Structure 1
Amino acid sequence: MAKWDNMLSVLWILRSGRKLTAAQIADSLEISVRTVYRYIDALCASGVPVVAESGHDGGIRILESFKGMPLFFNSVELKALVDAYKFAQGAGYPYTEELEHALKKMEIGLHEEQRHNLSRQTSGLDVIAPSRPPSAIPLLRDLEQAVKDGRTVRIAYRKASEAQASEREIDPYGLAYDRSEWYAVAFCHRARTVRTFRVDRIERLESTEAEFEKPDQFSASVYFRDQSSHGREADGPLTLIRIEGEPDTLNAVCGHWHMRHYLTERTDREARFLLDVPTMNRYLPIYLMTFGTAIRILEPAQLKHRVQNMAREIAKHHEDGMG
């Protein structure tokens, strides 16, 4: 049995209220008396009021006033919890305030040496949080509540290509955090199908009286994966696609709901994707044309030539029109 499990076992035995000798505890846990005393010292250091009484009726016991439970986290486990809080905060997790309160409660149970060690170990990692609208946290809370309650909500949603938001009613099935963005996966009453909605593009949300039943075993992550798979035109070998551009432009390319699933490598100036040729030929030329001269296709030559031909056809079309 691991050290921490043994220490918890000692604590539970003593919490029974009986006075026990070190030998009795050692026999119960099949450990040495010396080890029992070492665990007792550790419990005392964690703030547990252990009393050792000598004499005929003596033994080891815990004061009746003790109601709490010490924290048997090692230094790496404590660091992992604090670092996890930093990542949650950076992601815009809607319950970071409650998580922070929980960590403060945890720190209260540490002795001075543990607190100093924790501060030293967690000072070397920071998470740079992307800027988010102030409404993101209440929106995420409201959406999660709607998922839990099975309640239809009415939203004002603005697509990236639209100047104004449009209203629609949706049944939120789940939330997902993907590539630094929060998404609601929901059944859209207007489209009559399941869609994804970027939470930062929801300008207003209000609950309705309508209720819905979420599909059994629904998973937002599985939905994202399936959408990516269904979007491919063919199985088989994949081709490397290299696109060059400014960081902000590449962010838009890589953030596309379909393209992000095929991203394999990203630098400040270049993004690389792996995609089958039929899907590339059908969807990418038109999509990449929307970025104009803000991007440059480095590979493959086939994709570059298709975009060039499309650009020439468009130019010729407008030249003919002006004649």
Structure 2
Amino acid sequence: MRASRLLSVLLLLQNRGRMTAEELADELEVSVRTVYRDVEALSAAGVPVYAERGRAGGYRLVEGYRTRLTGLTETEAQSLSLAGLPVAAAELGLGTVLADAQLKLYAALPEDLRGRASRIAERFHVDVPGWFRGVESLPHLAVLARSVWENRRIRTRYRRWDASEVERVLEPLGLILKAGNWYVAAHCAGANRTYRVSRVLELEELDETFERPADFDLADYWREWSQQFERRMYPTVAVVRLSAQGRDLVPFYLGAVGARALRDSCAGPDEDGWFRVELPVEPGAPALGELLRFGPELQVLEPAELRERVAAAITRMGARYG
């Protein structure tokens, strides 16, 4: 356990530069006193680590010192081939770079771990896009990625969901790959917004840089934005009765939203063997289409307006088939 922690201290100092004892303790979830002992052990083992005194002080490695990549466990070595997504790297224009990096990394591994890591690549493959979807054209993705790296403002012509087009000057903060679709999180007109990369019609890099907000966290932003997006997409709740077959179809027809609704609100079965569920649905025509997919395995109870629309649609369908 201690050997693993000593290696972690060494790699943290190598990758991050100067770190205080408190920062190391927080990162490793140990006491500051333990960090002191670990640093002393590294120094006694010949690792050139030294302490800088003062308010801006901390521990550092001697300039230019690098340790070889050793000490990886079997599980860690196996995970190397799953850590990157080749499709995403290729779309970003980094496919060749990723391949070169993997070659260098594998070359640094001991022979037995290198063999195990390569066998993972032979037996597992990650395919990001969903089924039955064409590949989106993303001519501006690589330039967007460069703008994110360089904190460079961009001018775009963008097609919105209603097919209207707008021009925007964006400060791109990060790129997100979600279910095969790329999105860019950007600051625009005083607020952080999300844009789908495939809808960027034109893009121009400007000779202007911006200060990236120190408190911006891409993962937190995306999590909050996704939750808000889901609430906007499903503003209505339909109270329905489902047969056992209909209940089993919910995750297939309504995805994660439907599965969560089953988990949170499914009651029953009643005396007829049916289940009462509160299903989030899209507004207007999409809600009607979603519910009609279930055929006779679903009955809408509320709201009354939606129940009437479903009943009217079924009546028209019956009349169509005579």
Output the TM-score relative to the length of structure 1: 0.52
Q: Give the Å deviation of 1:152.
A: 2.7
Q: What amino acid sits opposite 1:125 in the alignment?
A: F
CA contact (8 A) 2:78 2:117 kept: yes
Which residue of the partner structure matches residue 79 of structure 2? 80
Deviations along 1:95-130, one digit per CA (max 9) or x if unpaired, are 443232111012223454443333334432111242
Aligned partner of residue 155 in structure 1, secondary structure: strand
Once residues 174 and 211 of structure 2 are traced to their aligned partners in structure 1, the CA distance between those partners, rounded to angstroms, is: 12
Q: Give the Å deviation of 1:304.
A: 7.5
Which residue of the partner structure matches residue 176 of structure 1? 176
Once residues 300 and 273 of structure 1 are traced to their aligned partners in structure 2, the CA distance between those partners, rounded to angstroms, is: 19
CA contact (8 A) 1:246 1:295 kept: no
- Which of 176, 196, 208 pairs up with 1:198? 196
CA contact (8 A) 1:155 1:170 kept: yes
Q: Give the Å deviation of 1:244.
A: 5.8
Which residue of the partner structure matches residue 107 of structure 1? 106
Q: Give the Å deviation of 1:245.
A: 9.1
Aligned residues: 233
Aligned partner of residue 301 in structure 1, secondary structure: strand
Q: Give the Å deviation of 1:79.
A: 1.0
Q: Does 1:217 align with 2:220?
A: no
- Go from structure 1 to structure 2 and tell me whether the alpha carbon gap of 1:274 and 1:197 turns closer, same or farther (over 3 Å shift): farther
Q: Does 1:135 align with 2:138?
A: yes
Q: Give the Å deviation of 1:206.
A: 1.6
Which residue of the partner structure matches residue 50 of structure 1? none
CA contact (8 A) 2:176 2:183 kept: yes
CA contact (8 A) 2:288 2:310 kept: no
CA contact (8 A) 1:155 1:203 kept: yes
Q: Give the Å deviation of 1:210.
A: 4.9
Aligned partner of residue 203 in structure 1, secondary structure: strand
Q: What amino acid sits opposite 1:123 in the alignment?
A: E
- Give the root-mean-square deviation of aligned CA atoms: 5.0
Aligned partner of residue 282 in structure 2, secondary structure: helix
Q: What amino acid sits opposite 1:178 in the alignment?
A: K
Q: Give the Å deviation of 1:238.
A: 11
CA contact (8 A) 2:185 2:194 kept: yes
CA contact (8 A) 2:238 2:303 kept: no
- Go from structure 1 to structure 2 and tell me whether the alpha carbon gap of 1:107 and 1:194 turns closer, same or farther (over 3 Å shift): closer
Structure 1: runs of 5 or more not aligned: 10-27, 31-35, 37-66, 255-259, 266-270, 316-323
Once residues 284 and 158 of structure 2 are traced to their aligned partners in structure 1, the CA distance between those partners, rounded to angstroms, is: 25
- Go from structure 1 to structure 2 and tell me whether the alpha carbon gap of 1:263 and 1:78 turns closer, same or farther (over 3 Å shift): farther
Structure 2: runs of 5 or more not aligned: 10-39, 46-65, 266-277, 315-322
CA contact (8 A) 1:263 1:274 kept: no
- Go from structure 1 to structure 2 and tell me whether the alpha carbon gap of 1:299 and 1:272 turns closer, same or farther (over 3 Å shift): farther
Q: What amino acid sits opposite 1:206 in the alignment?
A: E
CA contact (8 A) 1:243 1:272 kept: no
Q: Give the Å deviation of 1:226.
A: 3.3
Once residues 313 and 117 of structure 2 are traced to their aligned partners in structure 1, the CA distance between those partners, rounded to angstroms, is: 62
Which residue of the partner structure matches residue 89 of structure 1? 86
Q: What amino acid sits opposite 1:117 in the alignment?
A: R
Q: Give the Å deviation of 1:154.
A: 2.3
Which residue of the partner structure matches residue 272 of structure 2? none
CA contact (8 A) 1:177 1:183 kept: yes
Aligned partner of residue 68 in structure 2, secondary structure: coil
- Go from structure 1 to structure 2 and tell me whether the alpha carbon gap of 1:222 and 1:120 turns closer, same or farther (over 3 Å shift): closer
Percent identity of paired positions between Structure 1 and Structure 2 = 20
CA contact (8 A) 1:78 1:118 kept: yes
Once residues 238 and 223 of structure 2 are traced to their aligned partners in structure 1, the CA distance between those partners, rounded to angstroms, is: 17
User: Superposition pairs for residues 117-156 of structure 1, below 5 Å?
Assistant: 117-130=116-129, 132-133=135-136, 135=138, 139=141, 141-156=142-157
CA contact (8 A) 1:243 1:299 kept: no
Which residue of the partner structure matches residue 13 of structure 2? none
Once residues 214 and 239 of structure 2 are traced to their aligned partners in structure 1, the CA distance between those partners, rounded to angstroms, is: 36
Once residues 156 and 292 of structure 1 are traced to their aligned partners in structure 2, the CA distance between those partners, rounded to angstroms, is: 33
Q: Give the Å deviation of 1:214.
A: 4.5
CA contact (8 A) 1:285 1:306 kept: no
